[in-house]
Amino acid sequence: MDDIAVLSVGDELLFGEIDNTNASWIAERLFDNGCQVNEIITVPDKVDVIASKVERLLSEYKNIIITGGLGPTQDDITRDGVARATGQELIYRPELADNIKSFFNEIGKEVTENNYRQAYLPADAEPILNEEGTAPGFYLVAEGSNIFVLPGVPVEMKRMIDNFVLDRVCQPRQKNSYDLTLRVAGIGEAALEDRIKDIINRSEGIAFRFLPHGGEISIKLSLRPGFDPDNFAKVVAEIKEELGYYIYGEGDKSLAGVVSDLLRENNFSLALAESCTGGLIAKRLTDIPGASDFFKGGVIVYSNASKVRLLGLAEEILEKEGAVSRLAADQMATGVKELFDADFGVSVTGIAGPGGGTDEKPVGLVYSTICSNSCEFQERWSFSGDRKKVRWYASQYILNKLRLAILEAIK
Amino acid sequence: MDDIAVLSVGDELLFGEIDNTNASWIAERLFDNGCQVNEIITVPDKVDVIASKVERLLSEYKNIIITGGLGPTQDDITRDGVARATGQELIYRPELADNIKSFFNEIGKEVTENNYRQAYLPADAEPILNEEGTAPGFYLVAEGSNIFVLPGVPVEMKRMIDNFVLDRVCQPRQKNSYDLTLRVAGIGEAALEDRIKDIINRSEGIAFRFLPHGGEISIKLSLRPGFDPDNFAKVVAEIKEELGYYIYGEGDKSLAGVVSDLLRENNFSLALAESCTGGLIAKRLTDIPGASDFFKGGVIVYSNASKVRLLGLAEEILEKEGAVSRLAADQMATGVKELFDADFGVSVTGIAGPGGGTDEKPVGLVYSTICSNSCEFQERWSFSGDRKKVRWYASQYILNKLRLAILEAIK
């Protein structure tokens, strides 16, 4: 019998209006806690469909995590589906009704009759406290399997996974302190594998997974049961030694997060001059709380006139070399560093496409310069792919170059 | 027997590394073509699991769309799983091997032995041409059901859905030219329903769905078979009359796309001064090709000093009112309009959180001003939710206000 299935309930997931990010979040959270989702299934808001899928999953899986369909409206029929699949009645729980009432009181709203639908649970179910909203989750055991039923609202679901589900699904024996994710940027997958293949080959009992995504690679290492933890530590050290600065972080770290931390810890300030990325790099850095500690600001110089006026780019360079050129990148970085009086000035200029490319300067061409004490032109990249991909890769490669420049500066 | 199931194959989807956007794209595409996915299921790269799921789906569904696991490596075993489920041998197809060879020749790379794995298909399968890569898809009929097997690479999969699958799965009789999506912004779901509930109640034979997402609402209308198309047109006209400017567009349109079109069509230029949104609004507008037609640029003024220096915000206002205030929003919009010499100058200043809030100015407080011929303060919003949500909603509400300001200007 396999371990874990996730059942997502919701018409909206089958109309394609919404990606099923709940399921992928759960899969990742569980994986990081040493256990694995074996199947994800998405079904509409129909009682009979939910009931029949739950019946099937009960015969195949030890743990079934269900999300969605616990709201107050007539469409929300996950409670009914689970009750039917497990042959139980829905029973009114006065204590849950009280919770719902006080939740509404607190936010100063009236409870409607509909809201009390959420106080009905299958007879044997144990409620799971909702610290973020009104819909209680619930837990029951049927045919020897665990069923966890959680709301579809991400913040509510996530809390319940962390506080209630993880401990019950990922048995302590499965939890593995010898799991590690190394996050790598600035090297391709083939070159990376090539570089550490000797280490991998002599690492008995350690499983490796390479997950390339959006211009970086996660290396997931886990020690198989019964093998030597000391050897795990040794292998990790060898890989770190071999890859050096290619490793930008471990675990959950994001590249933008690592760059932010480096700037903050070293009291460096930053200013950005973006052309083709149109604010994407600034957006990525300011997605993270506390960006005002180091980010003085940026300019998005989408027109040539603004490059001249705000950044002092020489008209001559625009005429002779064009806005997408090494000299333009240099002057933009110099200009923005001065404009914001920042420790680091970073420029990006390029052609994101689909229009605007020429034989000489095709779509995907991107230049960047980073100035700190001195200015250093970084690279002339030729990214392939559509506009979205070119912009994302540019942001990714430039953030990585900025990381390396900061590391160089504090050497 | 239900109509359509989607089976996504890939360990990476169950490790949570990647959202299953292929499945949601297929669901939406099919829905827009008048037919509906009834179940989405995600399984790992394991032959026996794939085979058993395909067997089950064959007994439940008339059409099974499978994506992923058609690559050249040993992990790619969808071919084997489908062959096993349908009791067929995998047969080598010399003509497919030739295609693969010429594809590699064209891009100037060597074919490796592994690549020829892609030339094996189940005996009865018809290949589906891959115009974007090497892995052919394939189509076969088993137990009276259609099985479509497509690569997991989005661009390859999408072409095959459009060119091969749609016509076979969404029967012409199901196609419905009386489907319409109205996109609405600036009004809440309850108020929206309330406003058009009388129209809905007298619209026999028309199905309505409300899909709120990220600060806007899609209203999906479809005419049920056998009802009067003229009445559909009448109801649509009534709803448009009632909702007026709340409707920002139809079909696939995005709010940023509509704003872009309005600016371009009316030869208006735009400049942005962003504080708490940190480049998000610029990013959204420049995600769309051709933004340089109207977008002169923007500044991200994350520090007070930059607000003063670049936008001429009076120090006195910063001291007395603070950077998050109506007067600051006004001066930022005026300043950025001048700085870029643009027709429209838009400012946003606020507290995205989680830090930085006070009793007087809590997290979620956002001000915006829009200047064209004159400057008009827009609103003092209090958004709830985390940093990501506050930033997204701010960008959404401001784009909508900008849309209304342009409509006002061209009246």
pLDDT tens column, B217-237: 888 888 877 888 889 999 999
Nearest by CB to B296, from A29, A37, A306: name it: A306
Which residues does chain B have within 8 Å of residue A41's beta carbon, measured at their own beta carbons?
39-42
Structural contact between residues B224 and B207, judged by C-beta atoms closer than 8 angstroms = yes
Within its chain, how far is the Cα of A343 from the centroid?
Answer: 29
Query: Where does the pLDDT of residue B73 fall: very low under 50, low under 70, confident under 90, or very high at 90 and above?
Result: confident
Can you tell me the mean pLDDT for B289-314?
Answer: 95
Percent of chain B with pLDDT over 70: 97
The correct answer on CATH 3.90.1150.10 for the domain covering A255-409 is: no
User: pLDDT digit string (tens) for A381-392?
Assistant: 999 878 988 999
Q: How far apart are CA A41 and CA B8, in angstroms?
A: 10
- Residue A144, pLDDT above cutoff 70: yes
- Kindly indicate the confidence band of residue A208, based on its pLDDT and cuts at 50, 70 and 90: confident
% of residues, chain A, pLDDT over 90: 65
Would you call B391 and A287 a contact, using CB atoms and an 8 Å cutoff?
yes
The per-residue pLDDT for B175 is 45
Per-residue exposure over A380-402, b if at least 16 CB sit within 10 Å of its own CB, e if not:
ebebeeebebbbbbbbbbbbbbb
Q: How do residues B139-186 score in pLDDT, each as one tens digit? A: 999 988 999 999 998 889 999 999 999 989 986 544 456 788 899 998
Q: What percent of chain B has pLDDT over 90?
A: 65
CA A162 to chain centre: 17
Amino acid B174: pLDDT: 45
pLDDT value for A174 = 45
Is pLDDT at A213 greater than 90 in this prediction?
A: no
- pLDDT band for B401, please (50, 70, 90 cuts): very high
**A282 neighbourhood in chain B, CB within 8 Å:** 278-279, 282-283, 300
- pLDDT-based confidence at B102, cuts 50/70/90? confident
Q: Out of A35-44, A287-296, B254-263, pick the least confident.
A: A35-44
CA–CA separation, B220 and B207 (whole Å): 8
**pLDDT value, residue A177:** 66
Instruction: Average the pLDDT over each of A150-159, A393-402, B102-111 and give the range with the smallest value.
Output: B102-111
Q: Measured between beta carbons, which residues in chain B are less than 8 angstroms from residue A277?
A: 286
What tokens does B324 get? 């998050």
Test A310 with B339 for CB contact under 8 angstroms.
yes
More confident position, A223 or B349: B349
User: Quick one: tokens of B393?
Assistant: 């909603």
Cα separation of B397 and B186, whole Å? 7
* Best of B49, B183, B303 to mutate (most A CBs within 10 Å, chain A): B303
Q: What is the mean pLDDT of residues A194-203?
A: 90
pLDDT in tens, B111-132: 777 788 889 999 999 999 888 8
Question: For the domain with range B2-174, which CATH number is right: 2.60.130.10, 3.90.550.10, 3.30.470.10, 3.40.980.10?
Answer: 3.40.980.10
CATH topology of domain B179-250: Alpha-Beta Plaits (3.30.70)
User: Does the pLDDT of residue B1 top 60, yes or no?
Assistant: no
Lowest-confidence region among A86-95, A225-234, A365-374: A225-234
Who contacts B411 (Cβ-Cβ below 8 Å, separation ≥6)? none
Sheet of A145-150, strand order: A126-128, A137-142, A145-150, A61-67, A2-9, A37-43, B37-43, B2-9, B61-67, B145-150, B137-142, B126-128
Q: Percent of chain A at pLDDT above 70? A: 97
Classify residue B70 by its DSSP letter: -
What per-residue confidence (pLDDT) applies to A385?
Answer: 79
The yes-or-no verdict on residue A166 having pLDDT over 60 is: yes
Q: Average pLDDT of A49-62?
A: 92
Comparing A207-216, A224-233, B367-376, which segment has the lowest mean pLDDT?
A: A207-216
Of the partner residues A220, A291, A302, the one whose CB lies closest to the CB of residue B296 = A302
Per-residue pLDDT at B223: 84
| pLDDT value at residue B176 | 54
- With bands split at pLDDT 50, 70 and 90, how would you rate the model's confidence at A17? low
What gap in Å lies between CA B347 and CA B367, rounded to an integer? 8
Give Cα B15 to chain centroid, integer Å.
23
Predicted local distance difference test score (pLDDT) of residue A207:
82
CB B17 to CB A278 under 8 A? no
Closest in A17, A40, A340 to B14, CB measured = A40
pLDDT at A1 over 80: no
Q: How far is A5 from chain B (nearest CA, A)?
A: 10
In this prediction, residues A118-137 reach a mean pLDDT of 90
Query: Structure tokens of A348?
Result: 């990006």
Instruction: Give the pLDDT confidence score for residue A294 in this predicted structure.
Output: 97
pLDDT digits (tens, 9 = 90+) for B313-339: 999 999 999 999 999 999 999 999 999
Token digits of residue B284:
């959204």
Of A114-118, A278-282, B52-56, which one has max mean pLDDT? A278-282
Whose CA is closest to B9, among B52, B38, B62, B59?
B52
State the average pLDDT for chain A.
Answer: 90
pLDDT score of A82 more than 90:
yes
Which residue, B278, B292, B248, is CA-closest to B397?
Answer: B248
Q: For residues B48-58, give the mean pLDDT.
A: 92
What number is the ipTM of this complex?
Answer: 0.72
Give me the residue spans of the domains in chain B: 2-174, 179-250, 255-409
Secondary structure of A92-124 in the HEC alphabet?
A: ECHHHHHHHHHHHHHCCCCCCHHHHHHHEEECC
What pLDDT score does B377 carry?
Answer: 96
Chain B interface mutation, best of A19, A24, A324, A346, highest count of B Cβ atoms under 10 Å: A24
Among the residue ranges A52-66, B34-48, B269-283, B362-376, the one predicted with the least confidence is B34-48
Using the beta-carbon criterion (under 8 Å), do B298 and A300 form an inter-chain contact?
A: yes
Nearest CA in chain A to B272: A300
Range with the poorest average pLDDT among A220-224, B87-91, B238-242? A220-224
What is the number of CB-based contacts under 8 A between chain A and chain B?
A: 238
A278 contacts in chain B (CB < 8 Å): 282-283, 285-287, 291, 295
* pLDDT beyond 90 at B297: yes
Q: What's the whole-number average pLDDT of chain B? A: 90
Interface test with B, best of A286, A343, A346, A399 (most B CBs within 10 A): A286
- Give the mean pLDDT of A125-142: 90
Kindly report the nearest CA distance between residue B240 and chain A, in angstroms.
Answer: 22
From the list B280, B288, B260, the residue with the least C-alpha distance to B344 is B260
The pLDDT of residue A31 is above 90:
no
